[in-house]
Every structure is written in C-alpha cells, then in structure tokens.
C-alpha cells in the first residue's frame, strides 16, 4: 500500500501570500490561522521508510519539520530517498536548495527540467556525487531505486 502525505496544498504564493491583503490572506494572518497553507507538494512511500517527494516547494524545509515521517532517524540521515519533479517552475524546484546538506537522494525529472537545473548554477549546491539525477519521460512508467 502506498502512503501519501499532503505537505502543502496552496498555489504559488501560499496562504497567506506575503504581498496580499485579500480577505483570505488577512484572515490567515489573524483570526483564522487554520487557513494557512504552504505550497503544493506531497510525499509518498511504498514501505513507510523510503519517501519520495513530488516536487520541492519553497516551503519544503518547514514541511519537513511539520511531517514526522520525514524526520532523520540518525545523526546524518533522511528518509527522503528521492524527489520527482513534475515541472521546472520555481514553486516546484526551489525547495531542492533545502536538501543540499550532503544526504544522498535521487532526483527524477524530464530531460528538459534537468536542463533547467543544469543551466542554473545555484543547483550545483546539490552535490552530484550524492544526488543522482535520473531522466524520466512523459507518459512512461519508471521504477525508483528504493521501495
Ligand atoms: Zn490573498
């Protein structure tokens, strides 16, 4: 059975959005904090031990803090075995920079998304010896290394 955790469900700016004063954003900042939502992403696992993120939102660091199944189980460890990118938009890739501390994981993305990452040197912060980049194809099933 696949386990899925919704890490965030909001659109690009999150809720509240930093520069928005609409009724919803004002309520999320004030009287209704339960409205707050981080940017869309999910984590999924087939075994409950190895987790795969679908996209890496700019809110990823806080999403990991808020999600116990994604917490390290040893001094230098992460249950995050991989990140699967569905696109190269800023809200899908910037969270990768929060994963730059040397833990190994696999990064699955279409060749065009891989090229976007290669073209932007800031993503070299992901050590290529630790973060294996694997090209996937649209409409073609693939297997991950872990469960
Ligand atoms: Zn708003």
User: How close is the Cα of 40 to the center of ligand 1, in Å?
Assistant: 16
pLDDT at 11 over 60: yes
Calpha distance 43→51 (Å, rounded)? 6
pLDDT at 147 over 70: no
Chain center to CA of 2:
18
User: How close is the Cα of 24 to the center of ligand 1, in Å?
Assistant: 6
Q: What is the CATH number of the domain that holds 109?
A: 3.60.15.10
Tally of domains in the chain: 1
For residue 145, is it within any domain?
Answer: no
Q: Is the pTM of this model over 0.85?
A: yes
User: How close is the Cα of 139 to the center of ligand 1, in Å?
Assistant: 35
For residue 70, is it within any domain?
Answer: yes
Decide: 4 and 43 in contact? Cβ < 8 Å: yes
Q: Which residues of 101-130 are buried (b: 16+ CB within 10 A; e: fewer)?
A: eebebbbbbbeebbebbeeeeebeebeeee
Calpha distance 42→102 (Å, rounded)? 22
For residue 113, is it within any domain?
Answer: yes
User: How close is the Cα of 84 to the center of ligand 1, in Å?
Assistant: 29
For residue 103, is it within any domain?
Answer: yes
pLDDT in tens, 87-124: 999 999 999 999 998 899 999 999 999 999 999 999 99
Report the pLDDT value the prediction gives residue 146, as an integer from 0 to 100.
61
User: How close is the Cα of 41 to the center of ligand 1, in Å?
Assistant: 20
- The range of the structural domain enclosing residue 57 comes to 3-136
User: How close is the Cα of 96 to the center of ligand 1, in Å?
Assistant: 26
Calpha distance 87→113 (Å, rounded)? 6
């Amino acid at each position: 059975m696949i386990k899925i955790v919704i890490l965030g469900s909001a659109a690009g700016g999150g809720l509240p959005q930093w520069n928005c004063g609409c009724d919803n954003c004002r309520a999320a900042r004030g009287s209704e904090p339960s409205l707050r939502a981080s940017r869309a992403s999910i984590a999924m696992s087939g075994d409950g031990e190895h987790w795969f993120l679908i996209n890496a939102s700019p809110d990823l660091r806080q999403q990991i803090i808020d999600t116990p199944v994604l917490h390290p189980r040893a001094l230098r460890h992460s249950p995050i075995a991989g990140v699967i990118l569905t696109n190269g938009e800023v809200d899908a890739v910037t969270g990768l920079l929060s994963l730059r501390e040397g833990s190994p994981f696999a990064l699955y993305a279409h060749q065009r998304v891989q090229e976007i990452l290669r073209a932007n040197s800031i993503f070299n912060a992901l050590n290529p010896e630790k973060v294996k980049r694997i090209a996937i194809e649209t409409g073609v099933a693939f297997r991950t290394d872990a469960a």
